[in-house]
Amino acid sequence: MSTHDEADSFDEFVRSRSTALLRSAYLLTTDRHAAEDLLQDVLERLYAKWQRARSAPDTYARKILVNRAVDRWRFRGRRPETPLGERTGTPALDHADHVVVRQTVLAALRTLPPRQRAAVVLRYLDDLSEAETAQIMGCSVGAVKSHTARGLTRLREQAQLGPADPPVLISPTAEPTRRTR
């Protein structure tokens, strides 16, 4: 495989997968700018090991993403993360209710320990199986189940995402939406 081919395949991967990876990074960091920094860091590391990673780049990228997000959390000394304020992205383009959902979910995610947060994001945003999630997180399937269950419980409590219908926050007419506007 020539260097050109490798460069092309890396570029193609970045083009096709960076949006999905950025969304995961956003939920892992709960901060738009931190997510962009994290994604760039992840992709630079992936570039450096592309020859090895190109056979399963998505897995490699997500593995680095989760590890770096956890490292970042440790580096921050477990301090509470900054509320998003004006840095949530492009709220003017969103439905107002979605903005409220976003703020509430992000606030709830911030209360989750990093590995619980990672498990929830990998399982329910990225739609990975428990086995795939375990591979990326470098732990057992049992640990994934445990992290996920605890993370979900806490997320539901914090964001009022009850298991029963109706799902309060994602209803545009739900009371919490109006209350926070």
Is residue 105 close enough to count as binding other proteins by CB under 8 A? yes
Question: Which of 70, 111, 125, 130 touches other proteins by CB under 8 A?
Answer: 125
Q: Which residue in 78, 144, 72, 76 sits closest to 115, CA to CA?
A: 144
Is residue 23 close enough to count as binding other proteins by CB under 8 A? yes
Alpha carbon distance, N-terminus to C-terminus of the chain:
55
Minimum CB distance to other proteins smaller for 79 or for 92: 92
* Tokens describing residue 177: 């939406």
Residue 163 Cβ vs other proteins, minimum distance, rounded to whole Å: 4
Is residue 157 close enough to count as binding other proteins by CB under 8 A? no
Structure-token match 């219908």, residue found: 165
Count residues contacting other proteins (CB under 8 A)?
58
Residue span binding other proteins (CB under 8 A) among the ranges 48-56, 72-80, 134-142, 173-181:
48-56
Minimum CB distance to other proteins smaller for 137 or for 152: 152
Query: Would you mind telling me the total number of residues written for the chain in this entry?
Result: 181
Number of Cβ atoms within 10 Å of the Cβ of 6: 14
Is residue 66 close enough to count as binding other proteins by CB under 8 A? no
In SS3 terms, 8-21 reads as: HHHHHHHHHHHHHH
* Tokens describing residue 70: 């956890």
Q: Which residue in 116, 128, 118, 127 sits closest to 154, CA to CA?
A: 116
Residues that bind other proteins (CB under 8 A): 1-4, 6-7, 10-11, 14-15, 18-19, 22-24, 26-27, 32, 35-36, 39-40, 43-52, 89-90, 93-94, 98, 101-102, 105-106, 120-121, 124-125, 127, 148-149, 152, 155-156, 159, 161-163, 167, 169-170
